């Protein structure tokens, strides 16, 4: 599963696309993944792998103003960006291609550029920062969702997956009251599937809000908290859709049919509610695109 094995796939993404070498194309292939909206909805942070590096970039939602934030040493991968609520800093994680789990720490870097600062803990990957900016959700090596308190550096495991199952990346609701996450994935099943769950911020009242026959994960809340966007993968994760589910009536709609790409993943909902950003797998690598929550207005940014 893409979100689940991203630290392993990172190494694969550094390789050339089949059928064309770097010498033939004139440059190393680029792969852009894991978009994250700024609090003002005007910019998107994402990770870009090219050659033997992976760094954090920022681009405007209109596709202009591309800039590179991090410059990691060769072989060090900066991944999984997330914005702090004040918009002044971006969180990311580092790892190395040989690691089967993020081997570095949380880092924060000014969104306008500057020196990065380590936050810890080592060996964790973040996806969501609490609305008050004090805590970070991350996924543990045992596939449980945990909270890292920035001020005290303490870790609290919020939820233990069911026996023989994994949970995946969690996302705080905009009021901080609830957490959505992928749940009930069994790594031993012949056909991969998982659901979307929601629990209270303290880890209580875990329940399924979208039961899936495919593999649902990577949820993103709408600003008003009434809907969730998530990715739904099938066919061995070679095909994936962006689905928007209504939490009140349970309806779920694939909004990515018009993109023209078979694999659409890692949605991020803009705070102003106008856009959902996500990654698509194009012939020349992964790219970041945006569309409206009703499935209209799709365009590539990178």
Q: Phi and psi dihedrals of 199, rounded to 5?
A: -140, 165
CA nearest to 124, candidates 151, 145, 98, 152:
145
pLDDT band per the 50, 70, 90 thresholds, residue 117? very high
Query: Could you tell me the pLDDT band of residue 13, with boundaries at 50, 70 and 90?
Result: very low
Residue 149 pLDDT more than 60?
yes
As a whole-number percent, the residues of the chain with pLDDT over 90 amount to 67
Model confidence at 103: pLDDT above 80? no
Determine the average pLDDT of the residues in 9-37. Answer: 59
pLDDT at 164: 83
How far, CA to CA in Å, does 81 sit from each of 46, 126, 283? 6, 8, 24
The confidence band for 21, taking pLDDT boundaries of 50, 70 and 90, is: very low
How many C-beta atoms surround the C-beta of residue 172 within 10 A?
Answer: 22
Is the preceding peptide bond at 211 cis, omega within 30 degrees of 0? no
CA distance 1 to 126: 17
SS3 5: coil
* Confidence (pLDDT) at 186: 79
Question: What mean pLDDT comes out for the span 257-273?
Answer: 96
Assigned CATH for 6-300: 2.120.10.30
Three-class secondary structure of residue 109 per DSSP: strand
Per residue in 273-295, pLDDT tens?
A: 999 999 999 999 999 999 999 99
- Which range of 14-18, 103-107, 148-152 scores highest in mean pLDDT? It is 148-152
Looking at residues 232-239, what average pLDDT do you find?
Answer: 81
DSSP 42-107: SEEEEEEEETTEEEEEEEETTS---EE---PPTT-EEEEEEE-TTSSEEEEEEE-TT-SS--S-EE
Residue 2 above 70 pLDDT? no
Return the pLDDT at 208: 95
Tell how many helices (H) and how many strands (E) occur in the chain. 2, 24
Give the residue-averaged pLDDT of 109-118. 94
Model confidence at 234, in pLDDT bands (50, 70, 90)?
confident
**Is the pLDDT confidence value at 172 over 80?**
yes
- What percent of the chain is helix, strand and coil (3-state, nearest 5)? 5, 45, 50
- Of the pLDDT bands very low, low, confident and very high (cuts 50, 70, 90), residue 22 is very low
**CB burial of residue 68 (10 Å; 0-12, 13-18, 19+):** exposed
The domain limits of the chain are: 6-300
Is residue 26 over pLDDT 50? no
> Predicted confidence band at 102 (pLDDT cuts at 50, 70, 90)?
low
Compute the mean pLDDT over every residue in the chain, rounded to the nearest whole number: 87
């Amino acid at each position: 599963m893409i979100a689940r094995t991203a630290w392993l796939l990172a190494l694969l993404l550094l390789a050339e696309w089949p059928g064309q070498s770097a010498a033939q194309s004139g440059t190393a292939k680029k792969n852009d993944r894991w978009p994250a909206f700024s609090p003002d909805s005007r910019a998107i942070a994402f990770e870009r792998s090219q050659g033997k590096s992976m760094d954090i970039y920022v681009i405007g939602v209109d596709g202009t103003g591309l800039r590179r934030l991090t410059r990691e040493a060769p072989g060090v991968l900066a991944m999984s960006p997330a914005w702090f609520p004040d918009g002044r800093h971006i969180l990311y994680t580092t790892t190395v291609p040989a690691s089967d789990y993020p081997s570095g720490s949380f880092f924060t870097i000014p969104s306008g550029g500057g020196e990065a600062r380590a936050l810890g803990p080592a060996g964790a990957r973040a996806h969501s920062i609490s609305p008050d900016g004090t805590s970070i959700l991350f996924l543990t090596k045992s596939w449980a969702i945990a909270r890292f308190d920035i001020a005290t550096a303490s870790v609290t495991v919020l939820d233990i997956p069911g026996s023989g199952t994994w949970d995946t990346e969690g996302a705080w609701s905009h009021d901080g009251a609830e957490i959505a996450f992928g749940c009930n994935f069994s790594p031993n099943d012949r056909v991969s599937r998982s659901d979307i769950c929601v629990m209270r911020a303290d880890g209580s009242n875990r329940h399924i809000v979208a039961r899936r026959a495919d593999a649902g994960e990577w949820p993103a809340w709408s600003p008003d908290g009434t809907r969730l966007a998530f990715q739904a993968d099938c066919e061995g994760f070679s095909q994936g859709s962006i689905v928007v589910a209504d939490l009140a009536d349970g309806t779920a709609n694939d909004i990515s049919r018009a993109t023209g790409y078979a694999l659409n993943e890692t949605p991020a909902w803009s705070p102003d509610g106008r856009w959902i950003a996500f990654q698509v797998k194009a012939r020349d690598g992964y790219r970041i695109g945006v569309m409206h929550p009703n499935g209209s207005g799709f365009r590539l940014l990178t």
